[in-house]
Structure 1
Amino acid sequence: MNSARNTLAVAMLSIAAAPSALSQAIEEIVVTANHSDRLLSNSEASTSVVSAEEINQRQATNLAEAVSSLANVNFASGGSNPRFFQIRGIGARSQFVEPLNPSVGLVVDGIEMSGLAAGANLIDTQQVEVLRGPQGTFHGANALAGLIYVAGNRAQQTSSFALELGASRFNTREIGVTANAPINEALAVRIAAKRLTSDGFYFNSYVIDETQNREEHSLRLAIDYTPSTDSEYRLTAYYLDMDNGYDTFNFDNDYTTQSDQPGVDQQETVAASLAATHRGLSQVNIEWNLAVQQSDLLYAYDEDWSYVGFHPWEYSSYDAYFRDANSYNGTVRIRAKDDAPLDWTIGLYTAQRGTDLRREYTYLAGPFSSSFDASTHALFGEATVSINDYSRLLAGARVEQWDADYRDSDGISSAPSETMWGGKLSYEWLLSDTHRFYGLVSRGYKAGGFNSSTELPVALRSYETETLWNTELGVIANGEQFDYRIGIFRQDREDVQIKASRLISRPDGSTQFVDYTANSAEGVSYGIEADTQWRINQSLALQANIGLLHTELNDSSSGLSDRESAHAPSYSATVDLDYQLSTTLSGRVGIEAKDSFYFSTRHEAQSENYVLLNASLNWSLSNWELQLWAKNLTDEVTQTRGFGSFGNNPANGYVTETYVQLGAPRQIGISATANW
């Protein structure tokens, strides 16, 4: 068994060492969002990694800009920075009164941050990992559709200092500093600070101001302590202060608003994680991670999108949501050592999260308040068995106990409790030194819940647990000039949780929008995902990410029949051409394409398909790097959020029409980095 396992491991490592784009040898990318670190070349094709270099090339300032280039990954705005993501057409798109029950998990350096992605501004990020499909073994109920893992840089035993400056259209300014220092042979400290300000690309014609402004400050601290070869400790701490405006929707669906009470999108987060690895025992390694985060959020908007005096039939309303969100999570894993005859992991996971909400709304007699607490306790395990020198079998399972408690000022209370299970079974076969085949079956789950609105009948106050079965087949190749990862998948969903709404007309002609969650009977999705790199020659390389997706929702009781899922474009593609003009000058030209998609399952409004052209020119000399970049060069209009089930314009009698939030227009900027 040892011989077979070692032969397979050496073969997998040889794949990872093959040459790739614009380099003599491919860098070994390690995926950390699993029970054990694993080379990307040794992971399923449903895993994609966006490196720090790629983030810099794309000038990504938030998480959505980093991952939107990946196949079958989408996002919904509805704020200053997107915080809702969809993978293969599954994922939340908004949050108002109800507690969030995410389908796409977000973890930052071991810290549970699901639902708080607006604050993920990529400070000192090493890479962003996206795991498509249910992560029922690793992450549980919050990762029915997949997981986004943000891995920050660790402190190193070398002294360094970096300064980053950037400026671009819309008076956008960015400054960042990073310092790394070894204290002694066992201890190193790394600290990074970042500030981003921008006027934003929306202009309010009533208050005569840019009201989609951004002002974000963040701080990250990393401490690595390795007292011996048998143990290591890693402390990571974050602070974020995001004070952004939110003012986008208007009757003309353009970049000019006319709200007299522009909204805000604020988030202040303090978070930390402590992780350790102990290798001193004879047969096992012990790993543990403890994490905590506390966030204060304010999300508010002018509901009427206009000003007093706009029209005789007008109404005036402002809606504000104050949230105090906190969580802690802890994991203990016991793993077999690398030289053990069987590769296995068992562990325990526990988490507690709570959210206190206060809503101040024009049409309420007084503030609405609610309290939500949820606890999770899980037992998980995973084992890999080498069948022979060229194949292996991996099996994992997780059992999770979920308990929640909800109470609000309307007298609604609920305490659901569920036991859920998930896992995966995969087979891997080494076809040659450069090609590997895999097959995978996995099961994910998402806890049921409740709707608190008193406007809903009792029959709509609760919804059932959703389950998902995922099947994948794929091939991974790493050659001298051409690397590719291609996978095909099918997902079958039962008791699909979908967003629904009720529209209630007020005496003044306006509409009250009651948001709730319901179950559709079933859903099916299937498609293809491909990540490729082609090193054409020493100076030219091509990279492409392509996704094809077909989704169906079926439920005769709700009128859904072969309906596509929301935010599920049938194709998404990114193609980038990198070129090395000289030893100091390089450039990139790329396109991003995405098909149209439904904004919701409850109406027919859709986005428009688009193709974006991006480019950058990089000059590097010694410890300096200068980048001139452009995003959306052709000034294409894109839509990132939309509604189509109500009317909000008194000037046309509140007729139902489509309203959209627009993506960024053409952006041109310059950035400079100095390293010492």
Structure 2
Amino acid sequence: MTSRNLLLASAAGLALFASPAFADTAADAATGVDTGADQVDADSPSRGDVIIVTARRRQETAQEVPLAISVIRGDSIEATGNFNVVKLQQLAPTLQVYTSNPRNTSVNIRGLGVPFGLTSDGFEQGVGIYVDDVYNSRVAAATFDFLDVDQVEVLRGPQGTLYGKNTTAGAINITTNQPTFDFEGRAELTAGNLNYKQGKAAISGPLSETVAARIAVATTSRRGVYYNTRTQRYINEQDNLGLRGQLLFKPSEDLSITLSGDYSQQDPEGVGTVFVRTGLTQRALNRQYDALVASINAANPGRNYAVPSRNPYDRLTDLDSNLNAGNKIGGASLKVKWDLGAGTLTSISAWRFWDWKPENDRDFTGLSIVAKSQNPSQQNQYSQEFRYNYTSDKVDFVVGLFGFKQRIDTQGTEQQGADASRWSLTGAQAADASILNGLTATNTQFLKSESVALYGQVSYKLTPELTIQPGVRVNYDKKEGFYQRVVTNGAGQVISCSPAPAAGTVLAAQCGVYQPQSTSPSVSDWNFSYDLNVNYKVAPDVLVYATYAKSFKTVGINQNGLPLTTANVPDLSASTVKPESVNHFEIGLKTQFWDRKATFNLSAFLTDIKDFQATVNGGQFGTVRGYLANAEKVRSQGIEADLKIRTSDRFTAYANAAYTDAKYKKFTNAPCPPELSGGTSQAAGATPDYSQPGVPGALSPRACDISGQGLPGVSKYAFSYGAEYNIPVNLLDKEGQIYLGVDGNYRSDWNSNASPSRYTKVEGYALTNFRAGFRGDGFDVFGWVRNAFDVNYLELLQVAPGNVGLIAGQPGDQRTWGGTLKFSF
């Protein structure tokens, strides 16, 4: 038995056998997303639950909060199998999460947040992720499995006043279960097909009259979903371990001090892709994917390379580079809450680390083109927040001070392989493998980031029904970066590309693939943001609200290298990126009716962003994989509706729907999609000609105007639903309920390229999940099937570098099934 299994078995055994008494399991806990029904009569559970949230940095019921919010309970997460941020989008329609690996993960709300594509450390995310009030500065550092989670709040729309510059699109507020002075525990074991195994355990209780502790552990493993014919192994597996410990010191009713520590480790073989399709670019026909493969085969008699399948749903690949997605995340925090009578003072001190060790196959093929691609990173961040909350009959307010410091170090290596010359060069050079074979770019970079903010928000009741809520935040940010790329040839000799080498030489060919660079961008900025909310209680269970927010995302720096000018030198003007300026308008309705058995919430929004920070890619192999640029204006607008009903203790259902229209209102200097790339550039200053997309040999525009086109990664229509019905029974001398549950989600088509392409359109899909089981006092046993109808769908498409027309992707999971056993006391 491995040390991981021993640890889990010990915790699970303690949780199972420490006490024979079991606590109640809420009958509706597994029905997905709660909209915040407010309970009036505790003896009448059919009248709804009290959903307590901290969206406004204080505890209140969700229906009282005048903003669009989805509350997803821990039991709902477990029952529906959505055990991390990536999976969470199946329950919250306006949340989009796309990932090619933990490092390159985009989390967006209403189509806004993180620029879609390869991630850079030099900018802020637009969806803030908080765990127990601690900010996780990089999306990658929040891709851990949910561990002992109480609930997740998805706050939609800018949250800049209370949550900061990183929340122009919204925030994800994760709350874990806290230490208790009553002895309690829980354990959960799950097994399924694909050799899926998951175990969770938590135990909490007093160490003395003033000290309580809680410890939780979770482990997940699953066989990979793609089979690599080259290595004869499954890849994109799950191999996760998580630990969390908390110590609560409560010397009096007025003071509590909580020390928390957590550690998460992911060590899968992955992440890889499969062949999806090819699409013609404007590169010469003999320089596109199929012709290049034929040329390599002709030069290597007997090789006869071909992808193992052109059907992505065969889930076969033949990637030849090492694959790894080693991810270590953890940290510690100290939270002090002091009730001063007139208000509560809170201090949150935190340190977090993130250690990322990847290995990738960046040519997406079994050919040795990019033989090595890895950019390991190490992050340390420190944050301190002081917050004072005051509550009275007429006035509630919160004021706070937030400080943040971060450093990220990255050591990158990218190396060309034996097939690179024939793939990337022409003429006699294409036949000389030694020109590019072993050509290596070694990157060294670091980022230092500092931020400080002062904020406040007031809720003032003009009348018992009418409340105004203004808020302000002042931010100062400073960023310093360093990037250096050293290039060596196959003999290990350092090469220089300045002055520019003569055309047609070996050095010119090498500099066209990897070019040395050294930049040290630095930038600082002050910003003032504010918002105003007006809300009115039309009736005891009907709240209407209107919000205006002026928010921002701070300045960015290009941390992964710079694009080249027409003179083939780094474009220093692209070193920094302007801050985003956000204007947001929203109106909403929050209601309960049918004796509070039903909750219906509705919101409509319009968000305009000036100088939207977008990730773009020039298509080169290694000159720069991706960099930040500003789109002049982006708009996201839409309508969201959330409904939950609980007709009785026997039946609960929910449905959530979203319409999102997210577009580039103006982006006149965007990178061109693959069908308008790869050819000889059109004349400088000429009006771009878009009339020959996908025509080999046609002239390519130097840039494209994509104004009016949709933002990447955004489905216009999204829908999720769930229902559960139960019958009380006696089974095996146990009183309980037999229940049947269903949940599902639908997303319409969306585009997977920063500049929308006809080759990267991802078709819409609908997924359906079922579960059935028996639960009683302190136990729950159920079977489940996810993607029950075995729908074929794609989670992501990627354009291979070099403008060769290759499109790779990641199919979503096929049908999976299994069973879960849960105990609590």
TM-score (norm 2): 0.75
Counterparts of 1:222 and 1:17, CA distance in 2: 30
Q: Distance in 2 between matches of 1:593 and 1:284?
A: 45
CA distance in 1, matches of 2:394, 2:119: 51
Q: 1:430 aligns with which of 512, 517, 537?
A: 537
- What secondary structure does 1:157 align onto? coil
1:81 Cα deviation from its structure 2 partner? 9.1
Contact 2:712 2:755 in 1 (8 A): no
> Does structure 2 conserve the Cα–Cα contact (< 8 Å) formed by 1:32 and 1:151?
no
Report the counterpart of residue 192 of structure 2 in structure 1.
168
After the TM superposition, which of the residue ranges 460-469 and 70-79 deviates more from structure 2?
Answer: 460-469
Instruction: Report the AA paired with residue 417 of structure 1.
Output: S
Residue number in structure 2 paired with 1:664: 813
Secondary structure at the counterpart of residue 431 of structure 1 = strand
Unaligned runs of 5+ in 2: 1-35, 276-309, 417-438, 485-516, 565-570, 671-704, 729-735
Matched ranges for 1:542-621 at <5 A: 542-553=653-664, 554-558=666-670, 559-582=705-728, 583-604=736-757, 605-621=760-776
- Whole-angstrom distance in 1 between the partners of 2:76 and 2:144: 17
Q: CA deviation at 1:353?
A: 1.0
2:816 aligned partner, one-letter code? Q
Deviation of 1:237 (Å): 1.2
Q: Do 1:82 and 1:117's aligned partners in 2 also have CA atoms closer than 8 Å?
A: no
| CA offset digits 1:585-620 (Å, max 9, x no partner) | 112112210011111222412111001111111211
Q: Deviations over 1:537-570 (max 9, x none)?
A: 4422220111111112022333112111111110
| Equivalent of 2:128 in 77, 83, 105 | 105
Equivalent residue number for residue 296 of structure 1: 355
Which residue of the partner structure matches residue 6 of structure 1? none
Deviates more, 1:534-543 or 1:318-327: 534-543
* In structure 1, distance between residues paired with 2:799 and 2:530: 38
**Whole-angstrom CA distance in 1 between matches of 2:483 and 2:583:** 35
Q: What residue number does 1:354 align with?
A: 407
SS in 2 for 1:331: strand
| Correspondence for 1:496 | 612
1:75 Cα deviation after fit: 0.8
Mapped to 2, the partners of 1:646 and 1:320 lie a distance apart of 16
Distance 1:534 1:571 in 2: 22
For residue 346 of structure 1, report the CA deviation from its aligned partner.
1.5
Deviation, structure 1 residue 149: 1.3
Of Structure 1 and Structure 2, which has the larger fraction of its residues in strand? 1
The partner residue of 1:517 within 612, 624, 628 is 628
TM-score scaled by length of structure 1: 0.91
Contact 2:90-2:744 within 8 A present in 1 as well: no
Q: CA deviation at 1:420?
A: 1.2
Mapping for residues 142-161 of structure 1, pairs under 5 Å = 142-161=166-185
**Secondary structure of residue in 1 paired with 2:234:** coil
Does the residue aligned with 1:302 lie in a helix, a strand or coil? Answer: coil
Whether the 8 Å contact between 1:344 and 1:382 is mirrored in structure 2 is yes
Q: Measure the CA separation in 1 of the matches of 2:102 and 2:528.
A: 36
Over residues 61-82 of structure 1, what are the superposed CA-to-partner deviations in whole Å (9 max), with x where a residue is unaligned?
Answer: 2222124321311111101698
Identity of aligned residues (%): 19
Gap change, CA 1:267 and 1:166, over 3 Å in 2: same
Which whole-Å deviations, capped at 9, do the CAs of 1:309-367 have from their partners, x for residues lacking one? x5xxx62422111100111111111222x347532221111001110001011146452
Equivalent residues in 2 for 1:248-327, closer than 5 Å: 248-251=272-275, 252=310, 253-254=312-313, 255-280=315-340, 283-307=342-366, 315-327=369-381
Tell me which moved more, 480-489 or 260-269.
260-269
Amino acid at match of 2:552: Y
DSSP 3-state at the match of 2:795 = strand
SS at match of 1:64: helix
Alpha-carbon distance between aligned partners in 2 of 1:216 and 1:548, rounded to the nearest angstrom: 35
Q: Indicate if the aligned counterparts of 1:241 and 1:269 stay in contact, CA closer than 8 A.
A: yes
Question: Residue 10 of structure 1 aligns with which residue?
Answer: none
1:219 equivalent to 2:264? Answer no
Which of the pair has more CA radius of gyration? Answer: 2
Q: How much does 1:15 deviate?
A: 6.8
Q: 1:340 to 1:23 in 2, by over 3 A?
A: closer
Q: Deviations over 1:78-100 (max 9, x none)?
A: 01698421100013234456535
Match of 2:395 in 1: 342
**1:374 Cα deviation (Å)?**
0.5
Q: 2:660 is aligned with what amino acid? A: L
Corresponding residue to 2:38 among 9, 16, 39: 16
From 68, 74, 80, the equivalent of 1:46 is 68
Stretch moving more, 25-34 or 80-89: 80-89
Count of residues in Structure 1 that have an aligned counterpart in Structure 2: 644
CA contact (8 A) 1:111 1:271 kept: no
Provide Cα deviations, 1:122-152, integer angstroms capped at 9, x if missing partner: 0100011111111111121211111111110
Q: Which residue of 2 aligns with 1:415?
A: 522
Give me the whole-angstrom Cα distance separating, in 2, the residues matched to 1:233 and 1:134: 31
Matches within 5 A, 1:461-540: 461-479=575-593, 480=595, 481-504=597-620, 514-540=625-651
CA contact (8 A) 2:383 2:404 kept: yes
Q: Runs of 5+ in structure 1 lacking a partner?
A: 1-13, 506-510, 648-653
For residues 513 and 607 of structure 1, do their structure 2 counterparts lie closer, same or farther at Cα, with a shift above 3 Å needed? farther
In 1, Cα distance between the equivalents of 2:581 and 2:323?
Answer: 37
When the two chains are superposed, the root-mean-square deviation of aligned CA atoms in Å is 2.2
Residue 254 (structure 2) pairs with residue 230 (structure 1): yes
Where does residue 674 of structure 1 map in the other structure? 823
State the Cα deviation string for residues 474-499 of structure 1 (Å, max 9, x = none).
11112322111111111111111111
Give CA-to-partner distance per residue, 1:252-284, whole Å, 9 cap, x none.
33411111224111111221111111123x533
The one-letter code matched in structure 2 to 1:669 is: G
